[in-house]
Structure 1
Amino acid sequence: MGASASAAFIDSTPLTVPAATAATAAAAAAAASGRLLSVDRVSLEYRTRERIVRATHNVSFDVYGGDRFVLLGPSGCGKSTLLKAVAGFIPPVSGTISLGGEPVRGPGADRIVVFQEFDQLPPWKTVLQNVAFPLRVAKKLGRTEANGLALHYLEKVGLASFANAYPHTLSGGMKQRVAIARALAMQPRVLLMDEPFAALDALTRRKMQEELLRLWDDVRFTLLFVTHSIEEALIVGNRILLLSPHPGRVRAELNSHQYTHDSAGQDTFRDSVAHIHRLLFEETGAAS
């Protein structure tokens, strides 16, 4: 990569974007005006039968309103553990995580997670019921209002015609779209996605990436996205945090807003993939 291209790529200035609808304009403007999520010198550990394992060490980053922020690193670097800590499932052993200036002390409806597994949907509920039920419980909406909001987001993911279907009749990609609709219907301050497309075939994975970006253009939510695919990180994210092999430490923070699926065959895209691979592995001699 040439010097000018490299400088543009490593520029990590956060992007702030306007809201797509009048209903979300005020909230999006407030979120985009400063840091929304702050992870400050966070170290995380988990226990196995034999020992305590350090998952991440002294990790810091900020997510701004409207960001599509990607945590990228090899398997075992602690990126999913870090996402779970942001969700409030795992407390840091040191450092702090805050959302909107308030410390994260546990799970909350302001942070909704979409996991990799397809079976996130109770099989005895219809698609509509799966999306509406959390709205009734967490948002305390009535049945009519919850169903209306659920249908609105099912339309956004192209599944309104499957509202009365049951999960076992859906493909893996369709189940993930329902999970995304359910998460967006909750209108979280940050949508958390833990390798949500990793188990899909290549064609479906690309389609889901395209649909996620289309939804972001429409709704302009704030996204924290975990992947171990360099190509997916470049396409889905506008900012990427690189984590070293275990235990995860910050290797670099990069700007990738200039890339789309159409960039994949270009020299600059291939150069960026190679550049990231060197940053992740070659400096330490680690292998993937």
Structure 2
Amino acid sequence: MNAVAQSHTASTSAQPQEALLQVRGVSLEYRTPERVVRATHQVSFEVDPSDRFVLLGPSGCGKSTLLKAVAGFIQPSEGEIRLAGNQITEPGPDRIVVFQEFDQLPPWKTVIENVMFPLLASRTLKRPEALERARYYLEKVGLSAFADAYPHTLSGGMKARVAIARALAMQPKILLMDEPFAALDALTRRKMQEELLELWDEVRFTLLFVTHSIEEALVVGNRILLLSPHPGRVRAEINSHQYDLKSLGGVGFQQTAQRIHRLLFDEGETGTVEQELNFQDIRIAY
């Protein structure tokens, strides 16, 4: 096994019998000029090592705010968040965020310099080791031939792949992705979902992924937390590993997506939704 791959496996496989991320009774608030707004109310969930855990819900359910709290940018007004047993109180290199705005890549740096930059800035590695690791992850995302290119020459999908390579090069305990493909066209978005799953299959990183797309949640996640809005509360938690990109367009897939929609918006199906969803495991919160 490649030394870089061995290092990543070691950094993401500790104590697989215990949850890696624990979110316990977390309420989050933010202030507007008029008032204090509660974004989430007593949200709890756990993410195991190598999970692809999706936060799914409509606008106003606090899913992106939750991601920022896991990243350490926001402190809960109630509850706590722990990563590998340690309470999160500030940002750290063990949690790397990929946003949907890929213009965050410094335009004066080449692709490989962009991937190396956080490794060098954080003094995680010296330059020779950072270069080796950057090359490894650029190869994983299929951009080795573009190592010396500048961001303005890349398509949106290619910028997304650079951002993912840069994040994984830091070998975080958990990768946080906030609607990373929302700004891409439909065909590129589907391609990026496919590549993300292929990359996960090789590297087996732990992923916390935010989306408002039911279809994307079913494809990307092996577990999904459904959040209802205003403020965000846990509606249900679902094991969804039976679906993949090949399921898209299938009758069963579309029926499941429609039923999740009804569950999210509480359209009178709470009593029968567990049977109708036909998941191997579903926990209804209320």
For residues 31 and 125 of structure 1, the distance between their equivalents in structure 2, rounded to whole angstroms, comes to 38
Structure 2: tracts of 5 or more residues without a match:
270-286
Q: Does structure 1 retain, via aligned residues, the 8 Å contact 2:56–2:210?
A: yes
Letter of the 2:113 counterpart: Q
For residues 244 and 38 of structure 2, the distance between their equivalents in structure 1, rounded to whole angstroms, comes to 35
Distance of aligned partners of 1:118 and 1:140 in 2 relative to their CA distance in 1, 3 Å threshold? closer
Q: Does structure 1 retain, via aligned residues, the 8 Å contact 2:8–2:171?
A: no
1:69 aligns with 2:76: no
For residues 132 and 66 of structure 2, the distance between their equivalents in structure 1, rounded to whole angstroms, comes to 34
Q: 1:36 aligns with which of 11, 15, 20?
A: 20
Tell me the TM-score normalised to structure 2 length: 0.90
For residues 238 and 71 of structure 1, the distance between their equivalents in structure 2, rounded to whole angstroms, comes to 11
Match of 2:97? Answer: 113
Measured after TM superposition, the shift of residue 23 of structure 1 is: 4.2
Structure 1: tracts of 5 or more residues without a match:
1-19
Matches within 5 A, 1:1-288: 22-283=6-267
Residue 258 of structure 2: SS of its match in structure 1?
Answer: helix
Calculate the aligned-residue CA RMSD, in Å: 1.6
For residues 197 and 272 of structure 1, the distance between their equivalents in structure 2, rounded to whole angstroms, comes to 22
For residues 284 and 199 of structure 1, the distance between their equivalents in structure 2, rounded to whole angstroms, comes to 33
For residues 282 and 107 of structure 1, the distance between their equivalents in structure 2, rounded to whole angstroms, comes to 35
1:260-288 deviation digits (Å, cap 9, x = unpaired): 11111222211210121111003489xxx
Which 10-residue stretch deviates more, 201-210 or 166-175?
166-175
Distance of aligned partners of 1:21 and 1:140 in 2 relative to their CA distance in 1, 3 Å threshold? closer
Distance of aligned partners of 1:91 and 1:157 in 2 relative to their CA distance in 1, 3 Å threshold? same
1:241-271 deviation digits (Å, cap 9, x = unpaired): 0000221000000011110111112222112
Measured after TM superposition, the shift of residue 26 of structure 1 is: 4.1
Letter of the 2:163 counterpart: A
Match of 2:273? Answer: none
Q: Does structure 1 retain, via aligned residues, the 8 Å contact 2:98–2:167?
A: yes
Letter of the 1:57 counterpart: H
Measured after TM superposition, the shift of residue 137 of structure 1 is: 2.0
How many matched pairs? 266
Distance of aligned partners of 1:258 and 1:139 in 2 relative to their CA distance in 1, 3 Å threshold? farther
Letter of the 1:92 counterpart: P
Residue 106 of structure 2: SS of its match in structure 1?
Answer: coil
